[in-house]
Structure 1
């Protein structure tokens, strides 16, 4: 009986140790201030380049290459790792990585997982899903990729299952498509005036 108790205690101890395998498979990420700050600085340079500020010596491809190095080392820069604004910055850089479609597809895959783990923005995922689809000439799901046509905003590629677009947008935390089109109408009018 004594040997059986020792055997059961040993088995229980082994099972308890194995029970934590989920946490060993998913290491807890600690906030990385330096990485956060680097991503925010990259984002700021990206925006300056786009909004006509003083251009940096860094190209979209340079930022893409650096984000790929970060992803190779850390995985997708999650909210736990770099904060909400750091995750948004990483997404912006991936969104503007149009010249490196394989990287964009890789980023999309990792972003999907991060959203499933509640460690990234579903809205960011919706935009990147559409960006990758449009870049491949495929229909988009959320209608986020619009251009300015002669009659105002128009989808860069058709919207797949237009009847379901509002529900998809709502699940992603995006505004209704009509509101987005109204915003884009103002953008297109501004572009036309300048």
Structure 2
């Protein structure tokens, strides 16, 4: 085993597999390519992924770079980020991720995204402008605290200015690719 090998490679593979499947499903949902059955299956998978991550957090704390490697740590972050049906879990995951960041075992920009998502999920204003709404009319920021100092806060967590981030998201999710009846989707995309 080298210094770069994760301590839990099986756990790493499971997290990556779960996050990859969920991302594929979300991409189809954003483009409104899912019927009711597939939407239901995706929700069931999201709940199962949250349950698995909840168990991992209870057993290991945040699955950071040392435990599972950078790719699986990103996968764990993605699962937590999309656990909107479990707001208490999302808040707890944010705390554990923050501790991992402080220990140098996770990325601060991941924490900023999860922090914002937990705030939005719980009906509060986001801090870093990472949470967006995508609908057929375009892309907008979810409600934001103190917009006048947003770029300063973003810089403290390694995020680019909001204008750069929004342009990147607009290029990725061009409105022309969405149908008129596409659902409004919350994106964690203003990196």
TM range (shorter): 0.7 to 0.9
Return the alpha-carbon distance in structure 1 between the equivalents of residues 24 and 136 of structure 2: 28
Runs of 4+ in 1 over 6 A off after TM superposition: 53-57
CA contact (8 A) 2:136 2:175 kept: no
RMSD: 2.3
Q: Larger Cα Rg: Structure 1 or Structure 2?
A: 1
Aligned equivalent of 2:59: 73
Secondary structure class of the residue paired with 1:89? helix
Aligned equivalent of 2:106: 120
Secondary structure class of the residue paired with 2:129? coil
CA contact (8 A) 1:153 1:188 kept: no
Normalising by the residue count of structure 1, what TM-score does the alignment of the two structures yield? 0.76
CA contact (8 A) 1:143 1:165 kept: yes
1:1-194 paired onto structure 2 within 5 Å: 31-52=7-28, 59-148=45-134, 152-157=138-143, 159-186=144-171, 187-192=173-178
Return the alpha-carbon distance in structure 2 between the equivalents of residues 48 and 185 of structure 1: 19
Structure 2: 5+ residue stretches without partners: 1-5, 181-191
Q: Which has the higher contact order (CA 8 A, sep 6+)?
A: 2
User: How many residue pairs were aligned?
Assistant: 164
Return the alpha-carbon distance in structure 1 between the equivalents of residues 49 and 80 of structure 2: 9
Q: Cα distance, 1:192 vs. partner?
A: 3.8
Q: Cα distance, 1:88 vs. partner?
A: 0.3
Q: Cα distance, 1:191 vs. partner?
A: 4.1
Structure 1: 5+ residue stretches without partners: 1-29
